Amino acid sequence: MAAEVLSLIDRVTYPVDDRSGATYRAMVDAAHHQLTTTGAAELSGFITPDGVAALVADAESLAERAYHSVGSGTAFLGPPDTTVDDDHPRARRMPYGVRAVAYDVIPRTSPLRQLYESPEVLALVSDIVRQGTLHPYADPFGALNLAVMGHGDELQWHYDQTDFVVSLAIQAATEGGHFEVVPKLRERSDHHATGERAVLDGDHREVVTLEMRPGTLLIFGGRTSLHRVSPLSGERLRHVGLLAYDTEPDRVGTEALRQTRYGRTSPFAEPPAQWPIAAS
Q: Residue 57's domain is classified under what CATH number? A: 2.60.120.620
Residue 32 in domain? yes
Residue 267 in domain? no
Whether 248 has a pLDDT exceeding 80, the answer reads: yes
Give the alpha-carbon dihedral of 151, 156, 158, 161, to 10 degrees: -60
Residue 75 in domain? yes
pTM of the model: 0.92
Q: Give the residue numbers spanning the domain of 216.
A: 2-262
Quote the number of domains for the chain. Answer: 1
Residue 271 in domain? no
How sure is the predictor about 191, in pLDDT bands with cuts at 50, 70 and 90? low
- Residue of 75, 246, 260, 258 whose CA lies nearest to 160: 75
d(CA 125, CA 6): 15
Note the pLDDT of residue 87: 84
Residue 216 in domain? yes
Residue 47 in domain? yes
- Residue of 137, 68, 142, 63 whose CA lies nearest to 102: 142
Tell me which of 164 and 60 has the higher pLDDT.
Answer: 60
Residue 270 in domain? no
Residue 43 in domain? yes
